[in-house]
Chain A
Amino acid sequence: MLMGDYSFLNLFGLLIQSVFIENFLLANFLGMCTYLACSNKLKTANGLGVAVVLVLTISGILNWCVFKFVTGAGALSWLSFFGIDAANINLNFLQFLLFISIIAGFTQMLEIIIEKFSPALYSSLGLYLPLIAVNCAILGACLFAVTRNYPFFPNLIYVFASGLGWWLAIALVAAIREKLAVSDVVPGLRGMGITFIVSGLMAMAFQGFTGIKLATPTTSALVTANQALELQTAPEPSQANF
Chain B
Amino acid sequence: MSHPLPNRGPSNAKVITFIVILSFICALILSTLASALAKPKEIAQEIDRSKQMMIAAKILSHEGYFLIQDKDGKYGPAKVENGKLVPGNVNDIPSNEQVLEIYKKRLKAFLVDDKGKIFSFKEAGINEEEYVAQNKKNGYYKLPYRLLYEILPNETDEKNAKPIGYVIPVNGYGLWDAIYGYIAIEPNTNTVIGISWYDQKETPGLGANIAEASWQNLFPGKHIFQASPNGKTDFKTSGLGILVVKGKVSEVLGDIPKAKSAVDGMAGATLTGNGVTDAYREVLSAYRPFFISLNAENKSDNQKES
Contact = CB atoms under 8 A, between A and B. Distances in A.
A236 B33 contact: no
Given A148-B177, A236-B239, A237-B239, A242 B228 contact: no
B239 A231 contact: yes
Interface in A222-240: 224-225, 227-228, 231-232, 235-239
Interface string B216-248: 000000000010110000001111110101000
The 8 A-B pairs of least Cβ separation, nearest first, read A93-B34, A236-B239, A224-B278, A93-B30, A228-B277, A211-B271, A231-B243, A238-B237
Given A211-B271, A236-B228, 9 more contacts: A92-B34, A148-B177, A149-B137, A228-B243, A228-B278, A231-B281, A239-B237, A241-B237, A242-B292
Contacts of A118: none
Contacts of A232: 243, 245, 252-253
Contacts of A90: 34
A239 B240 contact: yes
A94 interface: yes
Contacts of B285: 239
A235 B228 CA distance: 8
Interface residues of A, number: 25
Contacts, number: 62
Given A93-B30, A228-B274, A232-B245, A242 B281 contact: no
B236 A93 contact: no
Contact of A94 (B30, B253, B292): B30
Contacts of B245: 232
B87 to A, nearest CB: 41
B289 to A, nearest CB: 6
A216 B289 CA distance: 29
A237 B258 CA distance: 13
Contacts of B288: 239, 242
Interface majority SS on A: helix, strand, loop or mixed? loop
Interface of A: 90, 92-94, 97, 148-149, 210-211, 213, 216, 218, 224-225, 227-228, 231-232, 235-239, 241-242
Contact of A211 (B175, B243, B252, B281): B175
A218 B173 contact: yes
Nearest to B38: A90
22 contacts: A90-B34, A92-B34, A93-B30, A94-B30, A97-B30, A210-B175, A213-B271, A216-B173, A224-B278, A227-B278, A228-B274, A231-B239, A232-B245, A232-B252, A236-B226, A236-B237, A236-B238, A239-B237, A239-B285, A239-B288, A242-B236, A242-B292
B26 interface: yes
B174 to A, nearest CB: 10
Counting contact residues on chain B (CB < 8 A from A), the size range is 20 to 34
Nearest to B244: A228
Contacts of B126: none
Interface string B257-298: 010000000000001001001100100010011001000000
Contacts of B173: 216, 218
B27 interface: yes
Given A93-B30, A228-B278, A239 B243 contact: no
Given A210-B175, A211-B175, A228-B274, A97 B26 contact: yes
B120 interface: no
B236 A241 contact: yes
A90 B30 CA distance: 12
A110 B30 CA distance: 29
